[in-house]
Structure 1
Amino acid sequence: MSLNSFPYQLYLVISEADCAGKNFLQVAEKAILGGVDVIQLREKNSSTDSFLAKAQQLIELTDKYSVPLIINDNIEVAEKVNTAGIHVGNSDASPVYLRQQPLLHHKIIGYSIEYLSQLKNEQTAVSDYLGISPVFRTDTKTDTITEWGLEGIKTIRLLTEKPLVAIGHIHLGNAKEVMNAGADCLAVVSAICSAPDPQKAAYQLKNEILK
């Protein structure tokens, strides 16, 4: 997959819990209006039925604005809702397995890497983009192994042409340096979901990326 086939720069990872009492659909819409290019629904602690219901609501919104919806690690939800893609980590279904599923074969598949050695494996080869997680440690993701930092992104950039989606404590103050280190796209949770004005937060982040 070429860089141009993942043309997104601002990636919102959202869950109802991360919206801290705000309506997650309203947060998502404001984020899109502010400049978010792609959204991942991550409901780690929801039942599949609850996850499915939220995804069905969210895809109506993302389709309205022609924004791709990615599902975090739930094949059933991704297939039933017919989302743009699915994102997995090392403890989830593998990208190779996902590519073999008839309903997911042509979908966007994202894969989070935790070791440099993974850049050479078959999972990376069949993935459309790589999640570099976390760039900096964050309270929203506690089960990670490597904190990549800016130097980690630079190293990965030299070793692969895959689109790199950086996530982990990214905010307005460090967004530009993460992009300069070699990321193609920034993924955020708290920087938008917890912001008093999600639309303004997304707009400011997008402008920082585009500077």
Structure 2
Amino acid sequence: MVLDRKQLKLYLVTDSTDKSDEEFLKALEEAIEGGVTFVQIREKNKSTAEYINLVSKALEITRKHNVPLIVDDRVDVVLATGADGVHVGREDMPVETARKILGKDKIVGATTKTVEQALAAYKAGADYLGVGAIYPTTTKVKNDSYFN
């Protein structure tokens, strides 16, 4: 899938903590119906099998609405499910490696914190850049100095 910049209008990073798959999927569909144009599924506490199962179900929803679904960190889950791409952080698989494994037809996003990191990620093959959470979340807890 070639990334259309219009799809980055409202980027949702999910968190299924304390939700059943059914509740999570219902919330995902409601978010898309409410205007979300790009979804990153982020699961830090699921087994690989659980993650693959959830991504497969989420793909049914995102494909129905023509919204890309990106998997956080896990190239193996992208390959197993056919998701639209991966988002890698600074301590995950390098962008260049993810691009090599996934090829040119998948989306690769990268988290960066500096201009130098952004330029390096772009040169390595990132389609888009994430600059981090603005507010703390249950999956991205930041120290106070980050927000000052």
Alpha-carbon distance, 1:80 to partner: 1.3
Local SS of the residue matching 2:146: coil
Q: When the two structures are aligned, how many residues end up with a matched partner?
A: 143
| TM-score with structure 1 setting the length | 0.61
State the one-letter code of the partner of 2:106: K
Question: Distance between the aligned counterparts of 1:63 and 1:74, measured in 2?
Answer: 20
CA distance 1:138–1:66, shift in 2 (3 Å):
same
| TM-score with structure 2 setting the length | 0.84
Q: Is there any run of 5+ residues in structure 1 with no aligned partner, and where?
A: 150-211
Alpha-carbon distance, 1:65 to partner: 1.1
CA distance 1:104–1:19, shift in 2 (3 Å):
farther
**Counterpart of 1:112?**
111
Which structure has more relative contact order (CA 8 Å, sep 6+)? It is 1
Quick check: 1:111–1:127 contact (8 Å CA) kept in 2?
yes
Question: Distance between the aligned counterparts of 1:113 and 1:89, measured in 2?
Answer: 8
Question: Distance between the aligned counterparts of 2:30 and 2:66, measured in 1?
Answer: 14
State the one-letter code of the partner of 1:139: T
**Counterpart of 1:59?**
59
RMSD, matched Cα? 2.5
The 5 Å alignment of 1:186-205 reads none
1:41-100 deviations in Å (ceiling 9; x for gaps): 100111111100000111011111111111001111111111111101011111100111
Question: Distance between the aligned counterparts of 1:33 and 1:139, measured in 2?
Answer: 23
Question: Distance between the aligned counterparts of 2:100 and 2:31, measured in 1?
Answer: 33
Question: Distance between the aligned counterparts of 2:128 and 2:145, measured in 1?
Answer: 18
**Counterpart of 1:35?**
35
Question: Distance between the aligned counterparts of 1:118 and 1:148, measured in 2?
Answer: 20
The 5 Å alignment of 1:145-184 reads 147=146
CA distance 1:148–1:120, shift in 2 (3 Å):
farther
Larger Rg: 1
State the one-letter code of the partner of 1:105: K
Question: Distance between the aligned counterparts of 1:32 and 1:57, measured in 2?
Answer: 15
Question: Distance between the aligned counterparts of 1:50 and 1:72, measured in 2?
Answer: 14
CA distance 1:52–1:20, shift in 2 (3 Å):
closer
Question: Distance between the aligned counterparts of 1:10 and 1:29, measured in 2?
Answer: 14
**Counterpart of 1:124?**
122
Question: Distance between the aligned counterparts of 1:146 and 1:92, measured in 2?
Answer: 23
**Counterpart of 2:46?**
46
State the one-letter code of the partner of 1:74: R
Percent identical residues: 32
Question: Distance between the aligned counterparts of 1:5 and 1:44, measured in 2?
Answer: 28
1:170-189 deviations in Å (ceiling 9; x for gaps): xxxxxxxxxxxxxxxxxxxx
